[in-house]
Amino acid sequence: MIQAIVFLPLLAALVAGLGQRVIGNMPSKIITTGALFTSCALSWPIFLSFVTGSGEPTVTPVLHWVSSGALQFNWELRVDTLTAVMLVVITTVSALVHLYSWGYMEEDPDQPRFFAYLSLFTFAMLMLVTANNLVQMFFGWEGVGLASYLLIGFWYKKPSANAAAIKAFVVNRVGDLGFMLGIFGTFLVFGTVSIPEILSAAPGMAGSTITFMGMRLDTMTILCLLLFIGAMGKSAQLGLHTWLPDAMEGPTPVSALIHAATMVTAGVFMVCRLSPMFETAPIAQGVVMFVGAATCFFAATVATTQWDIKRVIAYSTCSQLGYMFFAAGAGAYGAAMFHLFTHAFFKALLFLGAGSVIHAMHHEQDMRYYGNLRKSIPITYWAMMLGTLAITGVGIAGVAGFAGFYSKDGILEAAFASGGGGVVAFWVGIFVAFLTSFYSWRLVFLTFYGKPRWEQSEHIQHAVHGDHHDAPSEEDAGHDHAHAHHHDAPHGVQGDGTAGYHPHESPLSMLIPLVVLSIGAVFAGIAFHHQFIYPEEGMAFWKGSLAFDEHLMHAAHEVPTWVKWTPFTAMAIGLFLAWNSYIRNTTLPARFVAQFKLLHQFLYNKWYFDELYHLLFVKPAFAIGRFFWKRGDEGTIDRFGPDGAAALVQGGTRLAVRLQSGYVYGYAFVMLLGLVGLASWAMVNFL
Amino acid sequence: MSGGFPILSLMLAVPLVAAIVCIFAGDRSARLIALGATLVTFVLGCVLWAQFDIGGAQWQFTERADLFGRFQWALGIDGMALMLIMLSVFLMPLCILASWDAIKQRVGLYMAMFLIMETIMIGVFCAQDLLLFYIFFEAGLIPMYFIIGIWGGANRIYAAFKFFLYTLLGSVLMLIAMIAMIREAGTTDIPTLLAYNFPPEMQTWLWLAFFASLAVKMPMWPVHTWLPDAHVQAPTAGSMILAGVLLKLGAYGFLRFMMPMFPDASAQLMWIVFGLSMVAVVYTSLVALVQSDMKKLIAYSSVAHMAIVTAGLFAFNQQGIEGALIIMLSHGVVSAALFFCVGVIYDRLHTREIDRYGGLAVNMPAYALFFMLFTMASIGLPGTSGFVGEFLSLLGIYEASSVVAFVCTTGIILGAAYMLYLYRRVVFGELTKDDVKAMADLNPREWVILAPLAAVALWMGVYPESFLAPMRGDVTTVVARLAPAKPAGDAHLAAGKPKAAKAHEGEAAHGPSHAGGVQ
């Protein structure tokens, strides 16, 4: 059965991708979407069997892969609780995104390719989570990277999309460098790449030391840190995060599936899968917590200033991933996975909702040109509303709440209970909860409330004047800087800010996924929080598939009441502030920006990471490359090597002429024949 | 003759006879004869592979006949040679097909050159006599020299000359070293020489002489500059065979001669190889990044890949050497395919300037797909052949030295950067230029060439066991031969102290590790 779950998407991708010219649009869509719904239908029973406690971990061999000396690894499909959680997340979101794309990509001329990529991605992601050895995990890891690259650059005619695609791949490769070295080191230390064998041997290595790059280090610390660098790349953690916001160049369903719900959580999954290793390396855990908290904070601050609706959600994703990592760093792997699980639903919902808004607004992504959309697209509005309630963690402690309430509070309480650095992380988390609430509600208020500001949008103007784009959609995405001309006198005649445009609710194929995900956003927390994070139930549920610290989870439930209520308070303050700034007193943000210009610029420009990296890495790489080429190869090696020798042979200056005449060519050939003759002579006479 | 049907001699004879016929044949028939002969040789190669007894005797299909003096006609192959012969006979018919329409002048001679080249390549890999090997090894220059010099681009004379000058220098030194070896050991028989223990101080000199020749053939930095020029000027099929097989001769020489025959010197001087390899990976990758000529870019990337091969070989362990061998095979297939991909569009637009293209995904989707596959194989995406080789060899290198492994692994970042940047500029983007718009997608002949290359690249990535199995025993033999001289790796793993002392040890160990982690 697991074979079907994993390989159906691959099969569908191949059929749709390679056979698109033969079978056409509709069959490609039916095959890929059908395969994904089948996978999804097969995955839920597996997950539920683990929820009820009847599921047992299994490993299904598929094919021999590599054996070289002591190194052996095979293609295998491992299913345990951790995998089962990922299976339902991946297949559910993927199936819904496939369905959603029927509507969203309706007008795209290249649909089979899109669906093939989506299915290919799903296959790679499933290979990643079912891996029983580090190398297969790396296969999936790179496979999702490839699919992400292809999908970000799906509209390959757009230079910005191509740039974003390459950036995503190359930045991820920086992380992969760490991952690969981590695998090498792990093999050197443990003599195997099989995950269960490594995990069972890991405690025995605690306290051992190893030399890495000339430094004498604690073995488990350096191994975990190297592997974590891989996780940082894939999960867009601070330092290696710069590709994620740019990845929004891809079609919105891609953002929902890959850059919110599944691929970017692979790093969290990896840390949880290898949690027994991290448990033996407290310093590495500290680093994980620190990086998680820093990312969480950084991304949330940036999200408060962005205007592009997708970028806000992208930074929000980055920030939520930070939460998951600091949970893992605190040792609360169950809580990290729980947040991964609920986040998949509500973040996919928010992205697909944003896609529906963009669809309704004729590809306009700038929230400055939205407003008052709740009446025109009510279903999208309610879906986004539920998603926002979930992400901001609305709920009453001890009673009930939305999905994010359970998982985020679980993380914060566990961080608090872990003590030490965890308490610092807790306070960072609280502050970020406030920021999360602010930017999420800001998004909702700017989009769905207030007066329509549509007439200033170029896209809407195009729509109204029947001036359709040739290119598929989101043609002018990421255009924060190019909007000066929007502020010209309004072209609309109505004077109500609508420019006479009537946004339409999206088709059914897009609304059904929104409704299904809304159910997840509302109930995923309340339905499963016992299994994921309660001490006794958790032990029974996880069955050792991750390092579940029963004591920590006990302590997390025993935290003082004020700890349980602080996140809610932070959320409420954020909500109030957003309401005050974007509904009650709409001139407030502008005045704030005017007063704190530098701070705003710093946040609005994403802490200048892109500029810094361009200056530090991209420009020097090209400059050094050019230097090596012109000064190294041509200016030194050739000049004093072959050209110099040629000049000597030829007696200098007329070399070029003679080279052209072919003189040297013949000369050289004679020399070669002479050499062969000499060799033969030497053989016969000397030996 | 020792036993059995002389299949190796037959494989040498078929292309040679066909070459002679080709010289006198008309254009059309020369093409057909060449294709037919290379296909027959390929079939013979398949028979060879099928009949090869994995785990059996080290040397199989041996043939022996005394000629004049010390000169012996001694042939025989082990698993490594088998795989490299397979690579040669697999690529050869594809090269002939690749030249089908592109070569219009002196077709008979051109085909003859390729067929002679095939004989020589098979000869290099199956020679069991040192002098026979040397003759094949150096003779390979001649047809390549002609192919570049006659059918090459505008600056072909310079390139052919440079190619020749470089290789000449090393060859002389290697010949002298070989004569010294024969006088010392009193035999030209390679299997016997493999077991002979040369005095350590002599090994050093012999090693350096061999190194001078093989480093050029690899090519290693800084004697690599002939390669970009040779590739740029060579016709498409010339580049395919140059990158596909000729670049493997250097590594084959390392593995067949230098490492097992001079193990002490190899261990002593491995720092030279590691040092040059590290420089090459970073240096040539960065140079590749700024190239505006497609062939030059791929040529520089070849130097970077070959650097990982040399480093992997000198890791002195099973993974490093097997990985290096798989990179050789994989690079043979993938770089040949990439050069052919360049040739496909060169045939249509007659320029290798990257900036002249753009937007090919629109009018050449099948081409775009193949090109993407080989790009990914080149940057070592798991599931393709490139990954298996890179992963194994880097893992082996790590065991020897984490510093070398780290520097070589940065190649995966730079490799992704220059290949994707190339792909983006050629295939993606808006289709604006009129002459580019007019380019047609792959024709059936091009499909026939690309499809088998793609199939092998994937096969090697998903189930490399087919290729690893025949070579396993030979690599084990080399590793065992090197074992006494092998230096310890730099890891020095030390177990943790028992519980009682753990707190103390923990203090000591965690201090530096913290500093290391944060840096």
Beta-sheet pairing, A71-79 with A209-212: unpaired
Interface test mutation site (partner A, options B391, B392, B422, B476, max chain A beta carbons within 10 A): B391
Asked if A243 has any chain B CB less than 8 Å from its own CB, the reply is no
Q: For an interface test with B, give the residue of A619, A683, A684, A686 to mutate (most B CBs within 10 A).
A: A683
Q: For B162, what's the count of Cα atoms within 13 Å in the CB-facing half-sphere?
A: 29
Closest-CA residue to B52 (of B81, B92, B13)? B81
Q: Which residue has the higher pLDDT, A24 or B15?
A: B15
* Mean pLDDT for the stretch of residues B358-371: 90
Of the ranges A103-117, B132-146, B166-180, the best mean pLDDT one: A103-117
The two beta strands, A209-212 and A215-218, are: antiparallel
DSSP assignment letter at B189: B
| Assigned token pair, A389 | 């309630």
Helix (H) and strand (E) counts in chain A:
32, 6
CB A641 within 8 A of CB B97: no
Task: Report chain A (687 residues): mean pLDDT per 10 consecutive residues.
Answer: 91 89 86 94 93 89 89 92 94 94 88 92 94 93 93 91 92 93 93 92 87 87 94 91 90 90 92 93 92 93 92 93 92 92 93 92 87 89 93 84 90 90 90 94 91 83 65 42 41 65 87 93 90 87 87 88 89 92 86 87 86 87 86 79 64 47 55 66 60
For residue B470, whether the previous peptide bond is cis, meaning omega lies within 30 degrees of 0, is no
**What pLDDT is attached to residue B327?**
94
> What phi-psi label fits residue A393: left (phi over 0), alpha (psi between -120 and 50 degrees) or beta?
left
Q: Chain A 286-315, CB below 8 Å of chain B: which residues?
A: 287
Distance from CA of B416 to the nearest CA of A (A): 6
- The angle subtended at Cα B237 by Cα B234 and Cα B241, nearest 5°, is 90
Report which residue type is found at A297.
F
Instruction: Give the mean model confidence (pLDDT) for residues B41-68.
Output: 87
Q: A643 CA to chain B: closest CA distance, Å?
A: 8
Q: What is the pTM of this model?
A: 0.90
* Residue pairs between chains A and B whose CB atoms are closer than 8 Å: 270
Higher pLDDT, residue B166 or B383: B383
**CA-nearest residue of chain A to B381?**
A142
Sort out which chain B residues have CB atoms less than 8 A from A629's CB and list them.
287, 290-291
pLDDT of residue B437: 84
Does the pLDDT of residue B68 top 80, yes or no?
Answer: no
| Contact (Cβ atoms closer than 8 angstroms) between residue A444 and residue A384 | yes
With tokens 């088709």, the residue in question is A507
CB B193 within 8 A of CB B187: yes
ipTM score of the complex? 0.89
Domain ranges across chain B: 7-504
Q: What is the pLDDT of residue A602?
A: 87
Q: CA-CA distance, A351 to A358, in Å (whole number)?
A: 10
Mutation site for A-interface testing, chosen from B420, B458, B460, B476 by largest number of A Cβ within 10 Å: B420
Cα separation, B319 vs B316, whole angstroms? 9
Q: Do B318 and A67 touch (CB under 8 A)?
A: no
**Would you say residue B274 has pLDDT above 80?**
yes
Looking at the partner chain, which of B168, B322, B362 has a beta carbon nearest the beta carbon of A68?
B322
CB B465 within 8 Å of CB B393: no
A670: contact with B, CB 8 A cutoff: no
H or E, element range at A400: strand A400-401
The closest alpha carbon to B41, from B65, B9, B80, belongs to B9
Closest chain A residue to B459, measured at CA: A65
Check whether B485 has a pLDDT greater than 70.
yes
CB contact under 8 A, B226 and A642: yes
Q: Are A124 and B383 within 8 A, CB to CB?
A: no
Residue A644's pLDDT is what? 67
- Give the percent of chain B with pLDDT over 70: 94
Distance CA(B458)–CA(A56), nearest Å, equals 34
Res. B313: pLDDT tops 70: yes
**Cβ-defined contact of A686 to B183 (cutoff 8 Å):** yes
Nearest residue in B to A166, CA atom: B420
> Is residue B504 predicted with pLDDT exceeding 60?
no
Query: What's the CA gap between A343 and A517, in Å, rounded?
Result: 11
Using CA atoms, how far apart are residues A415 and B280, in angstroms rounded to an integer? Answer: 47
Mutate to test the interface with A, among B157, B303, B468, B492 (most CBs of A within 10 A): B157
Residue A282: both structure tokens together: 């407290």
- Does the structure show a pLDDT above 60 at B512? no
Contact (CB, 8 A) for A235 and A318: no
**Rounded mean pLDDT, B85-106:** 90
Is A668–B160 a contact, with Cβ atoms under 8 angstroms apart? yes
- Among B68, B359, B392, whose Cβ lies nearest the Cβ of A68? B392
Please judge whether B464 and A65 are an interchain contact, meaning their C-beta atoms are less than 8 angstroms apart: yes
Contacts of A670 (CB under 8 A, 6+ apart): none
